[in-house]
Amino acid sequence: MLEQNKNPFKGIQGDLKDVPPELRRKVMNDIAMAKLLMDMATLFTGNYSSLIEGMLKTSEKNQK
């Protein structure tokens, strides 16, 4: 029962240590590449839903 009440995040609050510059640079480059890929995916796929909706929507002019 005591184990369940223990907060696991309290153990993380230890001293923060600086990471090596090479590792920091690699992580930041990986994050930048992931963001670039997400932005490119949004660029190529973001408007498909509105395009299909516009094609399927009937306008009031055509109904008269």
> Which amino acid, residue 20?
P
pLDDT tens sequence across 9-55: 777 777 777 889 999 999 999 999 999 999 988 888 777 777 788 88
Residue pointed to by tokens 């309290």: 10
- Residues in the chain, overall count: 64
As a whole number, mean pLDDT of residues 1-9 equals 72
| pTM for the predicted model, two decimal places | 0.49
Alpha-carbon distance of 38 to 24, in angstroms, equals 21
Q: What is the pLDDT of residue 59?
A: 67
Long-range contact list for 52-55, CB < 8 A, 24+ apart? none
